[in-house]
């Protein structure tokens, strides 16, 4: 029963965050939407901030696991990169990107949120670094770049693209064209 209540609260928080944004998220509205007493948010999460961080951690863990599975597949790097671009489309549609960007913005003024979000994001950048390190034999000389710096560039390109996608459809073609060109370059390079 407690686990069910916790899951209902997380799902209600996700729905409220997507509809209202971080600044307007009300724990009372979350509790009402979940059909649970407000006190359950404090019991399970310690309050609003804990609820939102638990929600982000849950979503992040699921998607990071998906990426690790995809990058661990026996496919050429360019094909796995193309899949990552397709996943970005899915993640925008699911609301994850909006939720993540809302929490990043909240972290600019709340250091506790910023620290947690930064830690979650580090998992993505660490995964990208492992992928580049493993692919270095196929990629050849990385020039002045280390696997970590390439991972940072790729990760930041996706994050910047996410921000622009949230501003509206007018950015969609530009963002995906730019990101997908990296896949085309990897394919042309035989990686």
Please answer whether residues 151 and 132 qualify as being in contact, where contact means their C-beta atoms are separated by less than 8 angstroms: yes
Is a pLDDT exceeding 80 seen at residue 174? Answer: yes
Tens of pLDDT along 84-130?
Answer: 999 999 999 888 898 899 889 989 999 989 999 999 999 999 999 99
pLDDT confidence band for 157 (50 / 70 / 90): very high
Q: Give the pLDDT confidence score for residue 23 in this predicted structure.
A: 83
* pTM, rounded to two decimals: 0.86
| Level-2 CATH architecture, domain 1-46 | Orthogonal Bundle (1.10)
Residue 191 has pLDDT above 80, yes or no: no
- Taking residues 153-180, what's their average pLDDT? 93
Mean pLDDT of the chain: 92
Question: So what's the pLDDT on residue 1?
Answer: 79
Residue 189 has pLDDT above 90, yes or no: no
Domain 55-188, what fold?
Tetracycline Repressor; domain 2 (1.10.357)
Domain boundaries, the chain: 1-46, 55-188
Quickly state the pLDDT bin for 36 (edges 50, 70, 90).
Answer: very high
Residue 41 half-sphere exposure toward CB, CA atoms < 13 A: 26
Under the banding of pLDDT at 50, 70 and 90, the label for residue 78 is very high
Asked if pLDDT for residue 38 goes beyond 90, the answer is yes
Q: Is the pLDDT of residue 139 over 90?
A: no
Write down the pLDDT at residue 21: 82
């Amino acid at each position: 029963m407690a686990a069910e209540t916790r899951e209902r609260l997380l799902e209600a928080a996700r729905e409220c965050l997507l509809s209202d944004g971080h600044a307007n998220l009300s724990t009372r509205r979350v509790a009402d939407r979940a059909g649970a007493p407000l006190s359950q948010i404090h019991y399970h999460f310690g309050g609003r901030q804990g609820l939102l961080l638990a929600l982000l951690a849950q979503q992040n863990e699921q998607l990071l696991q998906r990426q690790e599975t995809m990058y661990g597949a026996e496919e050429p790097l360019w094909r796995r990169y193309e899949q990552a671009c397709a996943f970005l489309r899915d993640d925008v549609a699911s609301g994850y990107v909006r939720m993540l960007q809302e929490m990043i913005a909240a972290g600019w003024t709340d250091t506790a949120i910023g620290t947690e979000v930064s830690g979650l994001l580090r998992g993505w950048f660490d995964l990208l670094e492992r992928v580049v390190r493993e692919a270095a034999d196929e990629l050849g000389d990385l020039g002045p770049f280390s696997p970590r710096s390439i991972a940072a560039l790729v990760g930041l390109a996706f994050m910047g693209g996410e921000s622009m996608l949230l501003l509206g459809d007018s950015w969609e073609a530009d963002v995906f064209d730019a990101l997908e060109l990296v896949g085309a370059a990897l394919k042309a390079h035989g990686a």
